[in-house]
Chain A
Amino acid sequence: DAGVTQSPTHLIKTRGQQVTLRCSPKSGHDTVSWYQQALGQGPQFIFQYYEEEERQRGNFPDRFSGHQFPNYSSELNVNALLLGDSALYLCASSLGRRGAFFGQGTRLTVV
């Protein structure tokens, strides 16, 4: 059973560009959440998708948007990248209120 898979693993973008990160949830999971983890910090909740809709959103600007597809996979889009967006972006999947399982993350570097 493949766990949560994210792509790409590493990415370098220029300030002002746009980026799309992808996530495939663990088999049987229907909920996908995205987190941003800055170096030396705990993950910060960006938003959560369930039944192809954004169910909950953290304190992130509208530059951060997402999508969930019918097969439960998800994308995170970030527009107008800032240097401060450099971080490890984590996808987590879950089924209802059960524990969230994280992928290995995408390391985004904005230069």
Chain B
Amino acid sequence: QQQVKQSPQSLIVQKGGISIINCAYENTAFDYFPWYQQFPGKGPALLIAIRPDVSEKKEGRFTISFNKSAKQFSLHIMDSQPGDSATYFCAASGGGGSNYKLTFGKGTLLTVNP
């Protein structure tokens, strides 16, 4: 059972454009939604995270939009740069008690052309 569904699988954007990656979740007990960036041969790096009590969070060129009723959240990368080319993962955790494990989507390979 895939609890976090991520799309698209791959994305090609021109430099300066907006990259949008979407995720949907099934478990309504999730209460923490981070995004990770991973370069080849490296571990995932935490980019930005949101909790369901807010609908949007912005940090620099990265914005998370969150729709609790639709059980969806998305990552927007403004003014995309070639250095942003990487694999992006959405994740979710929560469920009460000590349920801190992260459930990841399958990833989106972003390519930003110069």
- A residues adjacent to B (C-beta < 8 A): 4, 31, 33, 35, 40-45, 48, 50, 55-56, 58, 90, 92, 94, 97, 99-105
Number of interchain pairs (Cβ within 8 Å): 58
Contact residues on B (Cβ < 8 Å of other chain), bracket: 20 to 34
Whether a CB of chain A sits under 8 angstroms from the CB of B11 is no
Q: Which of B6, B42, B100, B104 contacts A43 (CB 8 A)?
A: B104
CA distance A61 to B48 in the complex (A): 32
Whether a CB of chain A sits under 8 angstroms from the CB of B12 is no
Q: Do A41 and B99 contact each other (CB < 8 Å), given the known contacts A90-B44, A99-B34, A101-B46?
A: no
Q: Are the C-beta atoms of A100 and B104 separated by less than 8 Å? A: no
Query: CB-CB < 8 A to A104: which residues of B?
Result: 41-43
CB-CB nearest in chain A for B49: A99
Q: Do A56 and B46 contact each other (CB < 8 Å), given the known contacts A41-B107, A42-B89, A42-B105?
A: no
